[in-house]
Amino acid sequence: MAAPSLLNWRRVSSFTGPVPRARHGHRAVAIRELMIIFGGGNEGIADELHVYNTVTNQWFLPAVRGDIPPGCAAHGFVCDGTRILVFGGMVEYGRYSNELYELQASRWLWKKVKPHPPSSGLPPCPRLGHSFSLYGNKCYLFGGLANESEDSNNNVPRYLNDFYELELQHGSGVVGWSIPVTKGIVPSPRESHTAVIYCKKDSGSPKMYVFGGMCGARLDDLWQLDLETMSWSKPETKGTVPLPRSLHTASVIGNKMYIFGGWVPHKGENIETSPHDCEWRCTSSFSYLNLDTAEWTTLVSDSQEDKKNSRPRPRAGHCAVAIGTRLYFWSGRDGYKKALNSQVCCKDLWYLDTEKPPAPSQVQLIKATTNSFHVKWDEVPTVEGYLLQLNTDLPYQAASSESSAAPNMQGVRMDPHRQGSNSTIPNSISDTVNNTKTEHTAMKGTSVKNRPDLKASTDSNATLHSSLATNASNHNSCVVDVLRKNEGPHTSANIGVLSSCLDLRTVIPETSVSSSVSSAQTMVTQQTIKTESSSTNGAVVKDETSLTTFSTKSEVDEACALPATKISRVEAYATAMPFSKEIPSNPAATMKAGERQWCDVGIFKNNTALVSQFYLLPKGKQSISKIGSADAPDYSLLKKQDLVPGTGYRFRVAAINGCGIGPFSKISEFKTCIPGFPGAPSAVRISKNVEGIHLSWEPPTSPSGNILEYSAYLAIRTAQIQDNPSQLVFMRIYCGLKTSCIVTAGQLANAHIDYTSRPAIVFRISAKNEKGYGPATQVRWLQDADRRDGSLATGSLF
């Protein structure tokens, strides 16, 4: 974690959508990139459910239905997958609740649930300010404040230290309450404390940590409950313990429990001699407890003043939620004016990166041309950009298809039925998308409006600095793996398509399918991207640089998001080709081995980039360490170098957040294309018929001459695939001039079910011109997720 002076707080601004009114006593949970807020009060108790999308900087109000709970404050609020549980809280002044509600966030459906009472003892009484923590299939309730008076206008507070366990049913519903028998000294009664659960990786039992709270006076004690032995203890800690407090937040990221804000005593007052009489104030102090070493570290002390408004101002009763390694804080109250008998609530939203981001996945290839690559990598949550770098030691090699394509693809298996033709595939990728009618579009990945150091752009491939990337809108042959709903017997169902730079070393003729098939060599790797398309009848991407999300009403139940902003999953794969490692004969064309310098391609705000040139950094000059930092290179002053045909390039990428640049990914290698080969077939469609399925496609958008024939292949089951699922073996099922074929039920019976992402049957289709076969389009026909026997599933479709 950064030193206190280096904390890089960011205030989020320029919201879109209905921003909730400021409040305190509310609660928040995270589901992927969504922050979901419920309840709280300020001039009345709030009963709305608000959702903030941390990627698009959008607030929205889901259209909830079912048994909608009344508004409440200081309630229990936990998230289990895509369901949320709400327990207790204050529903009006002096009247508390002990009711339990469940929200299925995939449908925004509320349901009131009635757990069985404990086998011995009473169920939890109505309360507020309790802790409600989830671990596994159980929730743990501790403490809170009850009203002893039956008259809600006559509040007689009673602090609680009772402990309950609530068992959940899988997916939906609950079993009932139980009262575990605990050992050791129980923590004193309290409310407005925090409780988190943490378990060391690969060792130890889960433990619940209770900190602070209120019991007539604020508390600063730390308690630990071993959830396996049900033993309470008071761990000895090192470092400076935070001041006594209540209405603070505690969030776990990694092995650290972060404590922020709350009510604390005024400076200089002796709380030990007069705990009930001293004045209290809000704080913006920030500390963490290392849960492995039990050591406190102060990041922001109570004595540090903030004259530049560079961090959240003091507050209590706020909410905090962790998304990845980033902490978000919203609203809360920052004081109490006795003269006005009113509270002052904050309206701001802040976030803080707690550590540098992890390394992204290896760079993957979407499309290669003679002088450019369209590449992508896995998204890293809550980052502000990505630094993409390359280097090369392979010179341009002018060669014909006969002399240059095959040598750079070692181990290529020629098609036994066509030994007289060149059936190798050059290193090139293109793709297209197939999707149903898009009614609503979320804006994930299109801009970073709340990042003050980022340069906004409407093009999702725009970089954060000028001249770092080139628009790829002229390349309209992108193929990706799209999850679709089956809208009728003639609709392409569950098709995922990808164009991959394939060598057909693993393709075998239909007549030779047997257990003796040679080991496949094609490496298939998974990658997820987000794509927008408005095409409904041919899967043609109008602009492959519009890498945003899309949604349809029919997909509402499949993701936890507002129905109008459902995030579709898209998968893509590419084959990395081996390259010759020979030292080039022309020393001027490249650096010598061991002297290669990584060159910046640019800083990109999304996980995709079109690469046609790179920047040569001065010798000894390092790349950026943090977005907006003084050491960032001025790319306008650097020399640019274009990519050249037939050359291999190595790529790596690192993510950047408020803490700086993280580690680089593993290195990937790709090769620019040799001119003249046809592009990949596009607009792939699959429909069922009485014989099996009908597979059709459109000719390549860039045929580079006359198309002589097409070949379609099916991934089949072999013993080799069972040993290494990433190595697919393909059987040719069609060869001819037509742009469609029938795949029979008998052929499908031999199909391999690929589980690299969602289960699917894999097809590949490629075109051939006078130079030979071009890149293949890969199609993943999605199957029933519950079918694990490798046979074709014909049941429910995604």
Does one domain contain both 667 and 772? no
CA distance 113 to 171: 13
What percentage of the chain has pLDDT greater than the value 90?
Answer: 50
Q: How far is CA 133 from CA 62, 86, 165, in A?
A: 25, 11, 10
Last residue of a domain, one of 353, 380, 407: 353
* Mean pLDDT of the 531-557 span: 24
* Mean pLDDT of the 727-732 span: 87
453 lies in some domain = no
CA distance 593 to 586: 13
- 445-448: long-range pairs with CB below 8 Å, 24+: 445/55, 445/379, 445/530, 445/547, 445/548, 445/549, 445/606, 445/607, 446/56, 446/547, 446/548, 446/606, 447/605, 448/384, 448/385, 448/605
Q: What is the CATH number of the domain that holds 309?
A: 2.120.10.80
183 lies in some domain = yes
Does one domain contain both 231 and 380? no
More confident residue, 440 or 700: 700
CA distance 336 to 342: 6
User: What pLDDT, on the 0 to 100 scale, is given for residue 334?
Assistant: 85
pLDDT, tens digit (0-9, with 9 covering 90-100), for 570-596: 233 333 333 323 333 333 333 444 457
CA distance 659 to 654: 13
Q: What is the CATH number of the domain that holds 605?
A: 2.60.40.10
Does one domain contain both 154 and 263? yes
Domain residues for the domain of 250 are: 12-267+279-353
More confident residue, 98 or 723: 98
Q: How far is CA 596 from CA 359, 457, 578, 590, in A?
A: 21, 33, 19, 8
- Minimal CA–CA distance to 545: which of 627, 448, 651, 431? 431
User: What pLDDT, on the 0 to 100 scale, is given for residue 305?
Assistant: 67
Name the pTM for this structure: 0.66
Does one domain contain both 653 and 733? no
Does one domain contain both 667 and 695? no
476 lies in some domain = no
Last residue of a domain, one of 353, 373, 405: 353
485 lies in some domain = no
With the C-alpha atoms ordered 232, 233, 238, 240, is the resulting torsion angle positive or negative? positive
Does one domain contain both 296 and 376? no
Does one domain contain both 324 and 387? no
Does one domain contain both 192 and 214? yes
767 lies in some domain = yes
C-beta of residue 291 within 8 angstroms of C-beta of residue 198 = yes
421 lies in some domain = no
- Minimal CA–CA distance to 714: which of 737, 677, 686, 738? 686
CA distance 440 to 437: 9
| String of DSSP letters for 212-279 | EEESSSEEEEEEEEETTTTEEE----BSPPPPPBBS-EEEEETTEEEEE--EEEPTT--TTT-TTTS-
628 lies in some domain = no
* Mean pLDDT of the 273-290 span: 77
For the ranges 47-56, 265-274, 278-287, 458-467, the maximum mean pLDDT occurs at 47-56
- Minimal CA–CA distance to 526: which of 578, 481, 587? 481
User: What pLDDT, on the 0 to 100 scale, is given for residue 178?
Assistant: 98
Is the confidence at residue 439, as pLDDT, over 80? no
Last residue of a domain, one of 327, 353, 379: 353
Does one domain contain both 368 and 245? no
CA distance 266 to 590: 66
Report, in angstroms and rounded to the nearest whole number, the Rg of the chain calculated over CA atoms.
30
Q: How many CB atoms lie within 10 A of CB 215?
A: 21
Number of structural domains the chain divides into: 3
127 lies in some domain = yes
Burial-class residue 167 by CB neighbours within 10 Å (0-12, 13-18, 19+): middle
Does one domain contain both 248 and 388? no
Does one domain contain both 46 and 139? yes
Does one domain contain both 205 and 328? yes
Determine which of 132-146, 185-199, 590-604 has the lowest per-residue pLDDT on average: 590-604
CA distance 30 to 253: 13
User: What pLDDT, on the 0 to 100 scale, is given for residue 77?
Assistant: 98
